[in-house]
Structure 1
Amino acid sequence: MNLLKAASTISLLTLTSRITGLVREIMVATYFGASAWTDAFNVAFRLPNLLRRMFAEGAFSQAFVPLLSQTRQTQTEEQTQELIDQVSTALLWILAAISLVGVLLAPVLVWLTASGLHPEAFDAAVWMTRLMFPYAGLISLVALSAGILNTWKHFAVPAVTPALLNLAIIGAAVAFHKLVHPPIFALAIGVMIGGVAQLAVQWPALRKYAVVPRFRLSFLKAWRSEGVHRVVKQMLPASLSVSVAQVSIVINTQIASHLQAGSVSWLAYADRLMEFPTAILGVALGSVLLPSLSRASATQDVAKYSTLLDWGLRLTLVLALPSAIALLIFAQPLVSMLYNYGRFDHADVLATTSALRAYGVGLIALIGVKILAPGFYARQDLRTPVKIALVVLVCTQLMNLLFVPWLGHAGLALAISVGALLNASLLFRGLRRRGMFQPQPGWGRYALKVALAQLPLGGVMLWGAVALPWDRAHGDLLRLGMGLGLLAVAAVLYFATLRLLGFRLRQFMHSE
């Protein structure tokens, strides 16, 4: 399997998802702006998303995918299917129970997450939490299916399914926003429709490989199985690791809810733009690397293991650094051309820009963590990332005390960025000290060439940000055309400079 081709496939399909997600955010910004109501939706949607990241896409995937890969390589097809059946049954029952508790305790959860919301917005957040909390169960089953398909080297369907959520939210907003009160409730309806659609679209691919999970009624039988015990044993430290990151998000949301109205939404709008490079690069590379690293670990091929990590880090640098430069220099034009419509005014543009620039400081590290962490997960070493995550959590909250009084909501984003830099540094150091990663020769020369290639890209973007008009008085199509054209010119200049410096596509080809 050509890893670059696989990662490119995931990236392109993920790009489709992120574009639909951006259209979703543009629509929300146009219809609702950045207000107490959008804060309420973002808080309510964040709660099931926290659960999804903690127990599904995060801890569960980190524990399940390496075990499934190992079982597939060393056991029979029947034993592999039995593992899938038992794990899926246990997961279904656990998530059903958690979803029920979440619906019942919605007021408490919203208060713990964002007690500073306006009373009407607080009540709306409670209602939307109750409606959307079962989404956590649906999307967790989607994550289970994606883990199975990735193990079978099928990356396309899992990468494109998030687009269905965005399309469902867009459709529900258009169809229902005049039928419900307040209109923001239409977004919550769309979330549930999207959850069902994402799960449904995975099933044909699972049937193609004859690995459809067979859910059973007996929770106790599944819970007592060896496979579930092994997954749970690995999930406990992984859950703690992922939970630490989610606790940081909850704390930041709580702090933002006590700042100026709209702060939660400004951070969410900036985060959506950050998701473009982090998902297209980090998630794509991480999805490809984890199964490959797991197979290298299962065969104890240390050289291959190290080479895979080196390949991922080199690709990260050459693609993430220009993305970071773009966010830092071109943040305000980017926010203006994408969000500055309808009820999203100039003050919202400036507030979102400050958050986006603060996120941009740590972009390379945020992507790098998604490459470095699988280096531990593939070897079923989940304790080290937990310890590092705890250190990062404490440091991030200490930085909040320093940054928030000075920068407001942007201080929360800056603390996350600096925390990501610390996280990536400690993960890298841990891999090196354990002998799990040995950088290939030529890193210094490679990094210097990548840095030099940023000069024409940064120059064009700086000129465009300063010399061209970006406020909405100059017309929507003009701003969009200028922005996309400038980004295209900058990208062409960057890759042309890389070629002049001796870079060739074959350098990044890596087959397994």
Structure 2
Amino acid sequence: MSEKGKVTRAAGIVGSATLLSRVFGYIRDMVTAYYFGAGPLADAFIAAFRIPNMLRRLFAEGSLSISFVPVFTETLSRDGRREAFRMAGAALRLLSLILAVVAVIGVLASPWIVSAIAAGFKGDPAKFELTVLLSRIMFPYVVFICLVALCMGILNVLGHFAAPALAPVALNLAMIAALFLGGVVASDGETRVILLAWGVLLGGLLQLGMQVPVLWRRGFNVFKPGPLWHPALATVGRLMLPAVFGAAVYQVNMFIGTMLASLLDTGSITGLYYADRLVQFPLGVFAISIGTAVLPSLSRQMAEKDLAGVAETFSFGLRFTLFITLPATVGLVVLRNPLIALLFGRGAFDAAAVSLTADALLFYAVGLWAISCVRVTVPLYYAFKDTRTPVQVAVVAIVMNIALSCLLMGPMAHRGLALAVSLSSMANFTLLVFLLVKRGMVQLDYGAILVSVMRSGAASLVMGVVVWRGLVFLRPDGGYTFLSAAVSTAFGVTAGAAVYFGAARLMKSPELLTVQQILNKRRGR
């Protein structure tokens, strides 16, 4: 199979598993919204969960994988499987020790951490203390999820993508079980939200447990004793520290948004959270899946000094990402109101909460394409062992986000915070591409990329107009009910997909043809 075929196949596996995880994640969020709405309990849990969740995205979907995979691939290619496994075992043992120390410090320092990320909670002592308690319960989750990230890197290089991608399903199931248990045994909301925090910790343990038997079947014994150090880990460390910033600007910006939203009206944090959850659906199912699939291929081609192959793989990854995320951006903007009403508009999550979340989703969604492209572009820099540029660009983007957030949160409230994230993400991607072109790191066919973007953009625009006009006739006068929201969403998704892929087919989009070829080969087997 060609490298393009490998990327598409791997992205399909990761995307399918991520889709399943997102479905259970929606069920989790739906039940959470039903019990806690957009009130103080929801704000407390989301603020506390931001800490381990941000670290999950930094490591499980960011720096740990980006820094470990190229070094592990190079060791495997140069020294063989035995030496690569020795290096991976040392990484696992050393990381476990470091994470144990971090977890203890995090639990002890929770009051100061909460003071930093949710300064506005200090005016409500009960809310502040609850957030501290939830943070202490969930902080050890960081240990499990970072080890899962390392296991993911090992398995991805060995050609296995399913188990790491399915791991979040375990977290969502554990949290759903905790919510239902709280609904049965607890009569007050505070007890229910504490049980939910324990569900997060259990979910982390289950996620790690899923990786062990798969690694064992691949010949890697997780429990085999050995040294804490391997010379190759020095390279991983040098790549990892800057990668925390270079690969995770969006997560840092979201974290900043939570801090500033704590100064706004109650419900602002919750509205931003649920809007972000909807943005994470296409981001996780498609963009992160493509980025995960591209990284081993880029690392393998760099180890073989195949610069032409690197350019082709990156170009395909970027074009394929835009082929998916441009229509997703338009779809979220057009369908934001019925979609949120359908997914969350019940129980304590009233019409005001739906409107609050829809406003945030509008301004998050306009930056989805840029956030997604960053996920594909940053691994290219790290394949070249360039750790400095992504960090420099990340610092610019973060500073821009802080400035825009402070400027916009006054007149636009939480909507301004969402818009600041999108604008800074656009700046991040633009700078990365500009420097890529200026330095001539790879010889890309920029004409082909531009033509592909124009095709995808035109098809997305046609799709958006058709869906928007259809919603005009379906929009209810008195606000969305469950039935009207379901009908509007079903129409939007069905008609949108038909129009977009029909237009892409008429324009003979190469990205669509590649997907069809892979599917035809699989049917032939």
TM-score norm. by structure 1 comes to 0.94
Answering whether residue 377 of structure 2 is matched by residue 368 of structure 1, we say: no
The range that moved more, 476-485 or 338-347, is 476-485
After the TM superposition, which parts of structure 1 deviate over 6 Å for at least 4 consecutive aligned residues? 471-474
Superposed, which structure 2 residues align to 1:311-350 within 5 Å?
311-350=316-355
Work out whether residues 400 and 411 of structure 1, in 8 Å CA contact, stay in contact via their aligned partners in 2. yes
Q: In the TM superposition, what is the alpha-carbon distance from 1:372 to its structure 2 partner?
A: 0.5
When residues 113 and 215 of structure 1 are mapped into structure 2, their CA distance, relative to the original with a 3 A threshold, is: farther
1:307–1:244 Cα change, 3 Å: closer
- The separation in 1 between residues aligned to 2:361 and 2:471, in whole angstroms, is 15
The residue that corresponds to 1:89 in the other structure is: 93
Residue 351 of structure 1 and its aligned partner are, at CA, apart by 0.8
Displacement of 1:469: 3.6
Higher mean C-alpha deviation, range 449-458 or range 144-153: 449-458
Cα separation, 2, equivalents of 1:87 and 1:477: 52
Structure 1 stretch displaced more, 134-143 or 448-457: 448-457
User: Quick check: 373-382 or 264-273, which moved more?
Assistant: 373-382
Aligned residue for 2:244?
A: 239
- Cα distance in 1 for residues equivalent to 2:364 and 2:309: 33
SS in structure 2 of the partner of residue 212 of structure 1: coil
Q: Hey, what does 1:212 align to over in structure 2?
A: 221
Which of residues 403, 412, 417 in structure 2 aligns to 1:412? Answer: 417
How far did residue 438 of structure 1 move? 3.0
Q: Name the structure 1 match of 2:151.
A: 145
What is the Cα deviation at residue 402 of structure 1?
Answer: 2.0
Cα separation, 1, equivalents of 2:125 and 2:162 = 43
Q: How does 1:101-500 map to 2 (within 5 A)?
A: 101-117=105-121, 118-180=124-186, 181=188, 182=190, 183-214=192-223, 216=225, 221-223=227-229, 225-241=230-246, 246-440=251-445, 441-469=447-475, 475-500=481-506
Q: 1:254 to 1:446 in 2, by over 3 A?
A: closer
> Cα–Cα, structure 1 residues 240 and 446, in superposed 2: closer, same or farther, change >3 Å?
closer
- The match for 1:42 is 46
1:240/1:423 CA distance change after superposition, 3 Å = closer
What are the superposed Cα offsets for residues 163-220 of structure 1, whole Å, 9 maximum, x if unpaired? 111111111100124535512112112101111111111112111111233464x8xx
Output one character per residue of 1:362-415: Cα deviation in whole Å (capped at 9) or x when no partner.
Answer: 110000000101111122211110000001111111111221112101111110
Deviation at 1:129, TM superposition (A): 0.8
Given the two structures, how large is their TM-score scaled by the length of structure 2?
A: 0.92
Change beyond 3 A, Cα 1:315–1:122: same
Distance in structure 2 (CA, Å) of the matches to 1:178 and 1:470: 36
**RMSD of aligned alpha carbons:** 2.1
AA aligned to 2:105 is V
Paired AA for residue 202 in structure 1: Q
Q: Letter of the aligned partner of 2:63 in structure 1?
A: A
Q: Structure 1: state its 5+ residue gaps.
A: none
Q: Distance in 2 between matches of 1:71 and 1:458?
A: 48
Greater Cα shift, 249-258 or 179-188: 179-188
Give the Cα–Cα distance (whole angstroms) in 1 for the partners of residues 223 and 386 of structure 2. 29
Distance 1:438 1:187 in 2: 50
Could you tell which deviates more after superposition, 56-65 or 176-185?
176-185
Question: Which amino acid is the alignment partner of residue 373 of structure 2?
Answer: G
Q: Secondary structure at the match of 1:442?
A: helix
Q: Specify which of 498, 502, 507 is matched with residue 501 of structure 1.
A: 507
**Quick check: 57-66 or 189-198, which moved more?**
57-66
**Which segment is superposed worse, 228-237 or 119-128?**
228-237
Deviation at 1:443, TM superposition (A): 3.6
Distance 1:364 1:243 in 2: 15
Moved more, 440-449 or 137-146: 440-449
SS in 2 for 1:161: helix
Counterpart of 1:438 in 2: which secondary structure?
A: coil
The runs of 5 or more residues in structure 2 that have no matched partner are: none
Write out per-residue CA displacement over residues 228-272 of structure 1, whole angstroms, 9 at most, x where no aligned residue.
Answer: 222212222223435765543333211100100011110000000
Letter in 1 for 2:337: Q
Larger mean CA deviation between 353-362 and 376-385 belongs to 376-385
State the number of aligned residues: 507
Return closer, same or farther for 1:235/1:450 CA change in 2, 3 Å cut-off.
Answer: closer
Q: Percent identity?
A: 37
Please state whether the residue corresponding to 1:390 is helix, strand or coil: helix
C-alpha deviation, 1:474, in angstroms: 6.2
